[in-house]
């Protein structure tokens, strides 16, 4: 509600300003003449419009007036340009929803006017807004669309070249968020090459700073500092207040890591006022977080806490998820210094939860596939262009050759194409099966589980619980070894599967304070050594029982796995929990702000379908809701997997 009230107040102020200052605009003869001249000439390109309004494009009242006048005379390009400038203003004030709505209106007008220049600009601006919101997929989609359209232009204008640079820079920033630093640097260098060709100092400043960030993240502090200082020099040349704030914060962080505490404090402290002046909530939060960090190093713990909580409040109010995670991380460090291990661990987990929600395995996979798809399409177009040129040369050289040669060449080409299509279909089918197995491993044993497990073991070490730390570390290492072995084998024995699941439940149980009672029953006529099934087939169902059934339950928490023979040619596995039930779990999931969609069970069904092709019967999965006296008392998952009947006979 406070966020909504503040947005309402902000809109009300703008409306009030429109009323108060509309008369001033009408009395501004110079601006009125400029509007009249531009509307009369109706320039089409972004650069032509921008050159006319360059000095006033940050003036929201004048841009609103331009949008209104352009709409009155159906000057689509002028209205689209003005809306994009207003969208940038809303974005910099962290009013992201309004920024998105404004840029979307600008995009529709650009499409209606068939203006590629403004269309690309609008897409990039939408991508930047979503990136600032840490909405990785949406950001990449918009930048990818902008890049695809821009690459289709044979003789791009300067603005389109700049738009390509913006898209590549933004894609690099997304790679930064996903900690893929080498790929990020490649994108920044591509962007920087274009910025140099058009002598865009702002673009050069941004890319040097981004490269510095990547260098810092990989431990090359001297290289990072050098790039930050180059970026600061460019920002000084163009007098960019925002750029100076960003660079000073980054240089201060490097000084902190190098142990130069007085230098760090001086530069970060001097950045507070400029950050407040530009009133960009993202950089205000970052600056106060850095100030709290340096004050922690100076043992000014009370001041550090005040500034870190202020940074956290700003980040929460304006939904700056990355800034919120950073503030929690520094609060964890502060409490560690104070000896408040419980608070330190709490803030550390809060930071990790936010970071993991932003940077998920699904995001990484999605982005990698999308970028590869773009590169493949681009290379395909280049190959087509080269093939066309080559064909022209061949035709000129072959003008005097007989028709027989043409027919022979055509026949050979057709045969090659048909053979290529045949091979491509074969490879596509093999790739689909391989991708399914890889997707399963990524979805079921993702980095979040590994990182959280290590963090839990780390807590035992911090609390000097050596026996627990060694015990669970041994369990964890065995689990990882089994996962790696399973990734190389299409099928494993039921015995190995049960052992792997026991290790998995032991590790997950740490995060439940060992409150989960996990038991396994195997019927006497089931020979677990001989039965073969796809690896890690039970993990998604156990994970669902843990996190959807039991995580929100109070009191005793039980999961029971029962393995038995069923109808001769099947082995039946029943997973029963005494959790809150599917209906209640769905309500809790619906009320969560961040929703993570699991694809583990769907992948498991596809793998079982592929596995069942070698058997006469097919697999079956049945999920049952359990009730006691009409009240939900848990969930039972029944999995029937076809096997050779001989496998069930005891030796």
pLDDT score recorded for residue 19: 45
Confidence class for position 429, pLDDT limits 50, 70, 90: low
Which of residues 45 and 448 earns the better pLDDT score?
45
Whether 198 shows a pLDDT value over 80: the answer reads yes
Fold held by 22-152: 1.25.40
Q: Strand (E) positions, 362-497?
A: 491-493
Whether 509 shows a pLDDT value over 60: the answer reads yes
State the average pLDDT over residues 483-492: 77
The CATH classification number of 447-648 equals 3.30.565.10
User: Rounded distance, CA 149 to CA 170, Å?
Assistant: 16
CB 282 within 8 A of CB 263: no
pLDDT score recorded for residue 223: 94
pLDDT score recorded for residue 648: 42
Q: Strand (E) positions, 420-526?
A: 491-493, 516-522
pLDDT score recorded for residue 291: 93
Which of residues 438 and 562 earns the better pLDDT score?
562
Which of residues 352 and 429 earns the better pLDDT score?
352
pLDDT score recorded for residue 599: 56
Least confident among 320-329, 497-506, 588-597, 606-615: 588-597
Which of residues 649 and 543 earns the better pLDDT score?
543
Hey, is 93 helix, strand or coil?
coil
- For the full predicted model, state whether its pTM sits above 0.85: no
Confidence class for position 650, pLDDT limits 50, 70, 90: very low
Whether 598 shows a pLDDT value over 60: the answer reads no
Give tens-digit pLDDT for 205-230: 999 999 999 998 888 999 999 999 99
State the average pLDDT over residues 157-175: 81
Whether 597 shows a pLDDT value over 90: the answer reads no
Q: Where are the domains of the chain?
A: 22-152, 360-400, 447-648
pLDDT score recorded for residue 16: 45
Whether 649 shows a pLDDT value over 70: the answer reads no
Confidence class for position 288, pLDDT limits 50, 70, 90: very high
Which of residues 52 and 93 earns the better pLDDT score?
52
pLDDT score recorded for residue 432: 59
pLDDT score recorded for residue 636: 94
pLDDT score recorded for residue 601: 81
Residue for token digits 């005097």?
Answer: 400
Nearest to 584 by CA among 535, 541, 627, 620: 627
Hey, is 478 helix, strand or coil?
helix
pLDDT score recorded for residue 387: 53
- Beta pairing, strands 516-522 & 570-577: unpaired
Give tens-digit pLDDT for 78-90: 999 999 999 999 9
Whether 162 shows a pLDDT value over 90: the answer reads no
State the average pLDDT over residues 417-433: 70
Helix (H) or strand (E) holding 557: strand 557-566
Nearest to 455 by CA among 477, 473, 433: 473
User: Rounded distance, CA 116 to CA 431, Å?
Assistant: 37
The count of other CB atoms within 10 Å of the CB of residue 239 is 8
State the average pLDDT over residues 86-107: 90
First to last CA, the chain: 68
CB 448 within 8 A of CB 361: yes
Which of the listed ranges 189-198, 260-269, 400-409, 596-605 does the model predict with the highest average pLDDT? Answer: 260-269
User: Rounded distance, CA 219 to CA 201, Å?
Assistant: 27
Nearest to 538 by CA among 510, 503, 511, 569: 503
State the average pLDDT over residues 145-151: 84
- Beta pairing, strands 570-577 & 631-642: antiparallel
């Amino acid at each position: 509600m406070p966020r909504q009230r503040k947005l309402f107040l902000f809109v009300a102020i703008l409306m009030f300003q429109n009323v108060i200052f509309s008369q001033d605009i009408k009395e501004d003869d110079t601006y009125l003449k400029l509007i009249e001249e531009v509307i009369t000439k109706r320039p089409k390109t972004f650069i032509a419009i921008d050159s006319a309004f360059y000095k006033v494009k940050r003036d929201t009242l004048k841009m609103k007036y331009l949008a209104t006048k352009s709409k009155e005379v159906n000057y689509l390009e002028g209205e689209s340009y003005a809306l994009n400038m207003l969208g940038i203003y809303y974005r910099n004030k962290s009013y992201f929803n309004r920024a998105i709505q404004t840029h979307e209106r600008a995009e529709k007008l650009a499409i209606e006017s068939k203006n590629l220049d403004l269309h690309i600009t609008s897409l990039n601006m939408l991508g930047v807004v979503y990136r600032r919101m840490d909405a990785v997929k949406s950001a990449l989609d918009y930048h990818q669309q902008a890049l695809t359209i821009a690459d289709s232009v044979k003789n791009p204008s300067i603005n389109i070249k700049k738009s390509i640079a913006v898209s590549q820079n933004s894609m690099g920033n997304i790679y930064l968020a996903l900690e893929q630093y080498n790929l990020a640097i490649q994108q920044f260098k591509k962007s920087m090459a274009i910025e140099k060709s058009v002598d865009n100092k702002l673009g050069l400043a941004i890319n040097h700073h981004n490269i510095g960030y990547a260098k810092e993240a990989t431990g090359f502090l001297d290289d990072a500092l050098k790039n930050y200082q180059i970026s600061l020099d460019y920002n000084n040349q163009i007098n960019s207040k925002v750029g100076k704030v960003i660079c000073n914060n980054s240089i201060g962080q490097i000084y902190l890591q190098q142990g130069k505490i007085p230098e760090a404090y001086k530069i970060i402290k001097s950045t507070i006022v400029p950050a407040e002046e530009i009133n960009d909530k993202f950089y205000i939060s970052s600056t106060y977080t850095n100030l709290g960090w340096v004050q922690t190093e100076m043992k000014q713990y009370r001041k550090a806490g005040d500034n870190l909580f202020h940074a956290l409040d700003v980040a929460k109010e304006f939904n700056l998820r990355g800034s919120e995670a950073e503030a929690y991380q520094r609060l964890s460090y502060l409490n560690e210094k104070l000896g408040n291990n419980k608070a330190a661990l709490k803030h550390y987990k809060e930071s990790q939860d936010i970071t993991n929600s932003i940077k998920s395995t699904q995001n990484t996979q999605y982005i990698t596939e999308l970028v590869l798809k773009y590169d493949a399409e681009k290379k395909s177009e280049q190959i087509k262009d080269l093939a066309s040129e080559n064909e022209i040369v061949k035709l000129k050289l072959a003008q005097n050759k007989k028709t027989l040669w043409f027919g022979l060449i055509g026949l050979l080409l057709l045969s090659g194409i048909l053979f290529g299509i045949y091979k491509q279909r074969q490879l596509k089918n093999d790739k689909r099966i391989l991708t399914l197995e890889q997707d399963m491993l990524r979805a079921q044993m993702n980095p979040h589980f590994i990182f959280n497990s290590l963090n839990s073991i780390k807590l035992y070490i911090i609390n000097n619980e050596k026996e627990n730390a060694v015990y669970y570390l041994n369990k964890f290492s065995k689990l990882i070894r089994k996962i790696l072995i399973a990734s190389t084998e299409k099928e494993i024995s039921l015995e190995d599967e049960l052992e792997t699941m026991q290790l998995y439940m032991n590790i997950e149980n740490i995060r439940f304070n060992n409150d989960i009672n996990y038991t396994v029953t195997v019927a006497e006529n089931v020979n677990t050594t001989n039965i073969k099934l796809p690896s890690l087939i039970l993990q998604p169902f156990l994970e669902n029982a843990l996190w959807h059934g039991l995580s929100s339950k109070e009191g005793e928490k039980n999961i029971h796995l029962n393995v038995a023979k069923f109808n001769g040619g099947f082995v039946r596995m029943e997973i029963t929990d005494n959790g809150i039930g599917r209906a209640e779990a769905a309500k809790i999931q619906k009320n969560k702000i961040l929703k993570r969609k699991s694809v583990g069970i769907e992948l498991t069904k596809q793998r079982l379908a592929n596995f069942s092709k070698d058997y006469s019967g097919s697999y079956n999965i049945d999920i049952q809701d359990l009730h006691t006296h009409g009240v939900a008392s848990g969930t039972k998952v029944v999995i029937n997997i076809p096997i050779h009947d001989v496998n069930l006979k005891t030796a």
